[in-house]
Homo-oligomer: A and B are copies of this chain.
Amino acid sequence: MRKQPTVESVDLLVLGGTVLTVDARDTVVSDGAVAIRDGAIVEVGPRSKLERRFRARRSIDARGRIVLPGFVNAHTHAAMTLLRGVRDDVLLMTWLEKYMFPLERRFVTREFVRWGTRLACWEMIASGTTTFADGYFFEEEVARAVDEAGLRVIAGQGIFDVPTPDSNGAAEGLARGERFLSDWTGHPRVTPALAPHACYTVGPRTFQKTVGLAARFEAPVLTHVSESDGELAMVSERYGTTPVRHLAALGLLGPSLTAAHCVRVDEEEIALLAAGVVGVVHCPESNMKLASGVAPVPEMLAAGARVGLGTDGAASNNDLDMIGEMGSAARVHKVASLDPTAVPARVVLRMATQGGADALHVGERIGSLETGKRADLIVLDISGPNALPLFDPTSHVVYSARSDAVQTVVVEGKVLMDRRRLRTLDTKEIRNQVTRFGRRIRSALA
């Protein structure tokens, strides 16, 4: 007589739908299911099997939909949503020096960061992002806003040598950073980090102190590397070398570092990044809009570098939409290399999920739908005309899906959006507060 399998209790079952696991073999389960308990994935497999094996307190009907890991937006500045589209189509240095820096000096306060981050959380949940990496000021406000929203974040306290909206200089910034790391280390969804801005705004001593402080807390370090020719010129003038080589010489390339952009890196620098297990974050839309260039993503992937995808801040994108970002990534490398096989859909979807998790060095915990991973997933509706007919779900997600198709968002096993209704945010209050900030900024611009 065959033994009846034991029925296990779980908290949540996502039942039906095509499951894109993004595991090492890109396994796709048609009519699949995901079982979740205590915020973790217990099993991913065929629906018929999981239905027999598990009994759930709650289930989500995903039949006729696509289930995939939540997106990892591996580089953004969430609160900059409040400066979305404040000035477009201007030269990078004009944009920074005439608009961004003065506006930030004038407007970036604790409240600005709080409401800007809440707005960003709204936009990200509604478009399927479950984890993001942030670098900004008053980062404890980011941590709090994300904690309330239920999202996952690597929150990097900004470190500069010059005065910033939250510090008079590096010493105060580092003290702030230490307090932040000390207060938040160990939180299940908020990983506090330090974000030394870039080689041209953070000198070698401050950069080394920052990395040393982060190491004491085993905290990640997020920075900008080789975004533009302007940056290369400044670093070359000051240090006689390139940003990657400069960081390598300082001994700062390592598996806790995540480098956004890496647009202007040569073959040797790519090898340094890969050998150093540095995470790289590709931000195609921001790099295109600011005319920074096209990062050598195919070459970085071929070298074995950990490459994730990010939107950058909404001031230079102008949205936080990872589905749009995937399409841009897939397209820009094809035209830049004149090779239509470059950066195919499968690779782009990986960059937007597991690749981003790897680039942030949390790839063991999130990024794919596999047993033991934290339960961060999204359910995509495919009833729109742009999903008809549907030959390949991965192609659909990258090339024709639109982020309003995101129906359900689960982070750490908790439902943050259910049939497009946000469960953790007071969107009316966010709208009111954000509209007030918008009015004040508009009159300052006038």
Contact = CB atoms under 8 A, between A and B. Distances in A.
Interface in A113-156: 119, 122-123, 126
Contacts of A321: 386, 402
Nearest to A338: B291
Contacts of A403: 402
B388 A438 contact: yes
A288 B332 contact: yes
For chain A, which range describes its interface: under 10, 10 to 19, 20 to 34, or 35 or more residues? 35 or more
Contact of A319 (B122, B390, B400): B400
A208 interface: no
A384 B404 CA distance: 10
Interface stretch (A37-45, A88-96, A248-256, A301-309): A88-96
A392 B91 contact: no
A184 interface: no
B334 A331 contact: no
A82 interface: yes
A305 B285 CA distance: 27
A330 interface: yes
Nearest to A85: B395
Interface string A376-412: 0000000111101111100110011011100000000
Interface string A26-60: 00000000000000000000000000000000000
A122 B388 CA distance: 11
A18 interface: no
Interface in A309-352: 314, 317-321, 324, 327-328, 330-332, 334-335, 337-342, 344-345
Contact of A395 (B82, B88, B330): B88
A442 interface: yes
A334 B290 contact: yes
Interface in A390-446: 390-392, 395-396, 399-400, 402-404, 427, 430-431, 434-435, 437-438, 441-442, 445
A14 B89 CA distance: 31
How many copies of this protein are present in the complex? 2
A319 B399 contact: yes
A438 B435 CA distance: 46
B328 A331 contact: yes
Nearest to A82: B389
Interface string A207-224: 000000000000000000
B331 A285 contact: yes
A339 B89 CA distance: 9
A89 B330 CA distance: 9
A119 B388 CA distance: 8
A434 to B, nearest CB: 5
A438 B319 contact: no
Contacts of A339: 291
Contacts of A293: 335, 338
B294 A345 contact: no
A254 to B, nearest CB: 31
Q: Which of A95, A285, A335, A389 has the most CB of B within 10 A?
A: A389
Contacts of A345: 88-89
Contacts of A85: 390-392, 395-396, 399-400
A292 B441 CA distance: 42
A369 to B, nearest CB: 22
A340 B230 CA distance: 13
A435 B388 contact: yes
24 contacts: A82-B389, A84-B389, A85-B395, A85-B399, A85-B400, A88-B344, A89-B340, A89-B344, A89-B345, A90-B341, A119-B385, A126-B384, A126-B385, A289-B340, A291-B340, A293-B335, A293-B338, A318-B395, A324-B402, A332-B335, A388-B434, A389-B434, A402-B402, A404-B404
By Cβ-Cβ distance, the 10 closest A-B pairs, closest first, are A389-B438, A89-B344, A288-B331, A123-B385, A291-B340, A288-B335, A85-B395, A404-B404, A318-B399, A318-B400
